[in-house]
Structure 1
């Protein structure tokens, strides 16, 4: 079986980075997770399980890593590699609470995993991967202004992160550490009206020359007023100011309103992704 599993992030990065850099947009989440791991002092790193699929000649054509806990992230991989990975993870007793990645890889993995582990999915989200071509300022620019979020906004941000997870059907758990990390890295932006936050947009820490816009959240009472588009614009402008080559985001494929919004801002759909949650 051509999969290699490693708990050494330096080793995984050495083998898989060339594949990730061949398409940073598709591998944006793996780049973020492994980048954050590598920046953490070795003595403080949480356990990190990841791996790569290689040919007999040593060419790496597939990869995966676990984010927090049992959240599995899949990268692009050859046909059949997803099924092989499911078998391997089952053999080593690894648990999987959620899976996210390219549609074909997720379909292969989950079909085999559910058969082996006897698990049934609790939710599934079809996503579109969008990449920025050129930032276009919204035709309607709302009143208010944007600013970076600070530690003083933590309670609000924790609540909005939870609301975002509930509305999108994505895994949340304890969002506090994620909020703290994003505040510290300067990657969360609020749109304010009369000094009151009305929308949120985030920009991930640059990894492999790529930034991912997430999360994007506007409370129900503030929607359809342009606040979300303005917050995203501020987040994208920040991302571009860091000198990255690629800015991407994921959208709910079944939500035409959000897809239209991002396309109007200059994003184009480039691929399909799926997130499956088991618990």
Structure 2
């Protein structure tokens, strides 16, 4: 494998290597990935997904793994899932991002997209443009929050929290479709929504807030605990029920349950352009950690490619 260090005196550089399979990735990079679960939560989740589906993950390409090694220790890692075929990378210095662009360029493989903490993503996109002439377009930015100290509102709305069960699956699938459209993605087919609900119901991963008459009015999901971290996601209240405190109440309930289950870190991502959700989570005791950005890459190189 080629070394990506263009300057042997650059102490930020190391050697990028492709990894043959998931077992080897875990053997080499487990300690590194487990060292900062919050910053590495996306890569850890993708590893869990690969383990669940096995090596034959649906998609046009097989997964690709790589690590950056320095003095025999892994200091960064990347994964590319078949769908979407976007590289997911742990945080890098500018020099490491430059080296990764050189390494990936030497592989002569298409790169539809790239996601990482904002600074890493921007540095890589610029390095990739200079090297290949292919321009990156940021299309999704998220802010990672970590729970500091849970601070519930002084009064909760009427009703109670409960864990979703199989009888809720159709309602949950409907809400999942509405949530997906609201964040700017195509609405999934009903079958996909039902699978989404069934997977989470199976491990008790969806909490509902229901009104006093038993009608569900809001939901929040929690992924299984990973290296002491639990990620919350898909907090959703139908539009006509908003402004009544339901989202805050269900978030408090699922956050409290995660802490009670022994989670050392409770995490969630928001759209930084959404002032309502960002203000809500901060009122509840969540504090911002880092912003993450995903880039799409144009397929047609320009004349600016590096020689």
Which structure has the greater CA radius of gyration? Answer: 2
Give unmatched runs, 5+ long, in structure 2: 5-14, 299-307
How far did 1:53 drift?
A: 1.2
Q: Work out the CA distance in 2 between the residues paired with 1:278 and 1:223.
A: 37
1:144-178 superposed Cα distances (whole Å, 9 cap, x missing partner): 22222233333332332233233223687665444
Structure 1, residues 223-245: CA drift from partner, whole Å, max 9, x if none?
Answer: 11111011111211221232121
Gaps of 5+ in 1: none
| Contact persistence 1:32–1:206 (CA under 8 A) | no
Question: Which sits farther off after the overlay, 67-76 or 164-173?
Answer: 164-173
Match of 2:122 in 1: 107
Q: Which residue of 1 aligns with 2:172?
A: 157
Q: Provide the residue aligned with 1:273 in structure 2.
A: 292
In 2, the alpha carbon distance for the partners of 1:80 and 1:156 equals 48
Partner of 2:207: 189
| Deviation at residue 218 of structure 1 after TM alignment | 1.3
Which one of 63, 68, 72 corresponds to residue 48 of structure 1? 63
- How many matched pairs? 275
Change (3 A) 1:89 1:147: farther
* Aligned residues of 1:170 and 1:277 also touching (Cα < 8 A): no
Q: For residues 152 and 122 of structure 2, what CA distance do their matches in structure 1 show?
A: 37
Q: 2:231 aligns with which of 188, 198, 212?
A: 212
2:252 aligned residue (233, 254, 260): 233
Query: 1:102, 1:232 → 2: CA distance?
Result: 25
Which residue does 1:145 correspond to in 2?
A: 160
SS at match of 2:94: coil
Q: Quick check: 128-137 or 168-177, which moved more?
A: 168-177
Q: CA deviation at 1:207?
A: 0.8
Matched, 1:37 2:50: yes
Q: Which residue of structure 2 aligns with residue 180 of structure 1?
A: 198
TM-score normalised to structure 2 length: 0.78
Task: Describe the SS at the equivalent of 1:274.
Answer: strand
Counterpart of 1:72?
A: 87
Which residue matches 2:141? 126
Give the CA deviation at 1:125. Answer: 3.2
